[in-house]
Amino acid sequence: QVKLVESGGGLVQPGGSLRLSCVASGFTLRVYRMTWYRQAPGEERELVAQLTSVDGNTNYADSVKGRFTISTDNTKNTWYLQMNSLKPEDTAVYYCNGQWRLFSRSWDYWGQGTQVTVSS
């Protein structure tokens, strides 16, 4: 059974930093694409950062460029989101998503979410 577990959320003051982790278990294949999404109250879920393992390509939402960094420890199917210079508008539930591929098949799995609150 594939399971993704996020950790690292919490309450932080504006300008502070947090590091989110996503640990994937139950899949022997290396994760193909790792993504962080977030959803604020009353808003749609949005892509925050994405990393493709085969070529290292990254993609960031404009609102977090230069402040957030996605990285991975491929050997453990674990990935991270380093969030610096946090702003109140970064407050949301953050979800990790992992995609695995094998030939023409692909599988997507989600974590349960972790709350990030930026407030003074």
Q: Phi/psi at 118 (nearest 5 deg)?
A: -110, 110
Please tell me the predicted confidence (pLDDT) of residue 1. Answer: 85
Query: What mean pLDDT is reported for the chain?
Result: 95
The percentage of residues in the chain with a pLDDT greater than 70, rounded to a whole number, is: 98
Average pLDDT for residues 9-26, to the nearest whole number?
A: 97
- pLDDT score of 99 more than 70: yes
Q: Are 64 and 78 in contact (CB under 8 A)?
A: no
State the average pLDDT over residues 7-29. 95
90-94 — which CB contacts under 8 Å span 24+ positions?
90/38, 90/64, 90/116, 90/118, 91/40, 91/116, 91/117, 91/118, 91/119, 92/38, 92/39, 92/40, 92/43, 92/116, 93/38, 93/39, 93/40, 94/6, 94/9, 94/20, 94/36, 94/37, 94/38, 94/48
What average pLDDT does the segment 94-99 reach? 97
Q: Is the pLDDT of residue 74 over 70?
A: no
Is a pLDDT exceeding 90 seen at residue 62? yes
